[in-house]
Every structure is written in structure tokens, then in C-alpha cells.
Amino acid sequence: MNKVCFYFQVHQPLQLRRYRFFDMGINHNYYDDYLNKLAIRRIAEKSYLPMNNLLMELIKIHGDKIKICMSISGTTIEQLKWYAPDVLKSFKKLIKTGNVELLSETYNHSFSALADVETFKQQVIKQHKLLEETFEVSPEVFCNTELLFFDDIADVISELSYKACLIEGARHVLGWRSSEYLYSSAANQTLKLITRNVSLSDDIEYRFGNTAWDQWPLTAEKYLTWVDKAFEKGECLTLGFDYENFGEYQIANTGIFDFMKELLRLLAVKDEYELITPSEIVKEFKPAAQLHIPHPITWAGDEKDMSTWLGNELQEDAFKNLYSVSNKMLNCESRELIKDYDLIQSSDNFIYMSTKLFSKGSFARHYVSPYDSPYNAYINYMNVLSDFLMRI
């Protein structure tokens, strides 16, 4: 039987307000509350609620045959509490069915794993507790920010008691191997690695609504023939998406909701397929090989590296200054300072400084910056960071 795992990343950044040089030392409110409330409500109405309702409807009809997994960042959970409690209730209802496995990640969707191990540990532990308190579940599988992984964090993830980590099936890592197998980390063989199928995921996430694509329009039946082909060289297929892809990037008029409903229905009713969760993959399969990943990989762009977030001098400078005080913040007892330090670490702050935003292709479509240039994004962020550094 062909085992298929669906992963959805749920993350909404907390946007910074326009913070001027003259605000420093006077006003320590860094966030645009109006914009954040507007953004979370918009994405909820266009994507989260329709997709949650679709999944709930399928679960009611097909029961345990519908299984998916998702990660929900702490930043998103907090904003849902503040601005959209009805949407948080919808996620709780979905997860309570037991058909949705929650994966852990960093609380603030940060790249702290690259800068400071102890800060990274703190954020993962904080997120784990938040998921337990909010959804009454204890995740067994980890999924780092934007699927970031490299050998040096394998021991840390394993020490935090996670059995496996979901990573990108990057071609330069897999080489001749197929992403349709379970692997283990060469740096820590107790940590299993579940690899996302890049091409089949991108067919839905990036190409589905493109009328110029030679495979448009994509139907569930046609997509399943591609799934069958993937299983000619593997045991378990993992597909991964931004949750807001459904309704926001691929708007409802493209037919994306009808497509997903039919695809999941077919996978549930056809005997040759079984939907499976990451923890079930770990129980059912043995690692086919070890993966050695000396350099950080992510699921961004064609390079599958960190260049989207740390590819230019502005990004590197901001990142270096942000984590220059990580050791000091580990012993900080001020709730306000801890809260602000958590929130300004969001990876989104660095993507707004990326010059890749002006390139063509799938990357640019998924990340719309609230700033008119990477330089202005950098200036605004550094004003906020400078004020924060003065406070500590």
C-alpha cells in the first residue's frame, strides 16, 4: 500500500510598525497592532477557516482514513488568541479529532539554531509547552523553521526527545537517493529524517493556478498518476505546503479547495493508498540510509539554503546584532524584554531585507514585503533592534 503524508506549515509573522530613529529611547511599542489584526483576520477568512472546514468535513465522512500533520508557530497561536479566537477554536476542534498530528518547531519561527544552541532549546521547549497547553497534545516529531536542518542540530533535537525531523528532500543532499524513504541523521542515528518531495509539493503550491503551465489544469486523477510514479522508487511520500497556500496564494477561484477535497477523498477511498502521519512513518519503516548534511538546508528557492534570509550584508549584519545578546537574554527575568526578544527573532524580518524578493519565480510570489525596499526593511528593523539593545 502506498503511504502518503501531508504536512502543512501554519505561520503568520507579527509585523513591526514604522519605527523611526526619533522613537528610540522613548517608545518601546514595536508592533503594528492594526495591521496584524487585519492580516490575521484576512488570512483566516480566505485560507484557515475554509481549509479547516474542508478537512473536518472529510474526517466526518472518512474517519481515520483522513490523516494529516501540521505545525503552528507560537507567534500564530498568540495572534489567534488576541485577534481571532474563533479560528483558534477551529484548529482545536480539528486537532481534537486525533486525525491531525501536531509537529513542534521554534516558538517564534526563528533561525536561532544557527546562532545559539541554548536560545534554540529555550524556544523549542517554549513552543512544546504552548502546544500542550493549547491543544493538549505532546508532539513527537520536530520541524524546524522553514525546514532548516544541518548535522550540528541533530543531537539537540534528539536530546529534546523528538524521534524524527521533517526536512527538505534537497537534491544536493539526497543525490541519487529518492525522497520516498525514511532516513536517519549521520550525525545522530537515533534521529530519523522524513524528506519532503519537492517536485510534487511544488506542483500544488506553485504551479497549480498557473494557466501557462503545460499541465494546467491539474486534476486529482492526473496528480495521482504522478504519485504512483513516485512510488516506483520508494515506500512513503511526504508532501509539504504553507497552509495559506490554500486560499491566499492559490485563491479559491483557481479551484484549489475542490482539488484538495477530491485528492484527499481519492486517497481515502482507494485501497492502494493510505494517509499516514510522521510518527506512524517512524514506527512503520526503517531508515534506508544515513544522510550527511554538513551545511544548512531549507525549503526555500532553488538553492534550498539560507540565502533567502542571510544572503546579503544587510541580513547578516541584522542577524549578527540580534544574537549578540543571546547569552545575556538567557538569564533575563523581565517578561517584557523576553517577549520582545522572542518576537523580533521571527525569520520574516530577515526575508524582507532579501534582494531575492525582486527576482522572478515562485519565491517572489510567496513573500510580499510590507516595505518598499530591502534597505528600508533593514533600517526599520535596526531602529527597533537598537532601541531593544539600549533597554538591556
Give catalytic residue positions. 146
SS3 (DSSP) at 150: coil
What's the maximum distance between 2 C-alpha atoms anywhere in the chain? Answer: 65
First to last CA, the chain: 57
CA 212 to chain centre: 28
State how far the alpha carbon of 336 is from the alpha carbons of 28, 198, 329, 388, in Å.
10, 40, 12, 11
Strand partners, 246: 250
Distance CA 153, CA 161 (A): 13
User: Is-contact 149 165, C-beta < 8 A?
Assistant: yes
Order of strands, sheet of 164-168, starting from the edge strand that comes earlier in the sequence: 141-142, 164-168, 192-196, 182-185, 290-291
